[in-house]
Amino acid sequence: MPNDQALELWVIQRAQEILKREGLILVNAAQWLDKKGTVRGGHALREAIETSLREALRFKRPETSAIN
């Protein structure tokens, strides 16, 4: 269980970081009707999400034993 809680906390913090950084850039570009900036912001957001998913896969989950 502690590993699950650590993963959950990490996921929440990571999502907040991504939205604060890449999400804000994307929103600003969209508000200014900057098509190239919007595309770049969308790509940066997607890459940040992909990277965080790869990082999440590195978390080791404890093995669960079968209950007889």
Query: With bands split at pLDDT 50, 70 and 90, how would you rate the model's confidence at 2?
Result: low
Residue pair 29/37 in contact (Cβ under 8 Å)? The answer is yes
Residue 6 lies in a domain: yes
Residue span of the structural domain in which 24 resides: 2-54
**SS3 for 12-36, per residue?**
HHHHHHHHHHHHHHHHHHHHCCCHH
Average pLDDT value for the chain: 84
Residue 59 lies in a domain: no
Q: For the segment 34-54, what is each residue's pLDDT rounded down to a tens digit?
A: 999 999 999 999 999 999 888
Residue 35 lies in a domain: yes
Residue 61 lies in a domain: no
Residue 67 lies in a domain: no
Residue 50 lies in a domain: yes
Residue 25 lies in a domain: yes
Residue 65 lies in a domain: no
Task: Report the domain count for the chain.
Answer: 1
Give, to the nearest 10 degrees, the angle between helix 2-18 and helix 35-57: 170
Q: For the segment 52-65, what is each residue's pLDDT rounded down to a tens digit?
A: 888 888 876 555 54
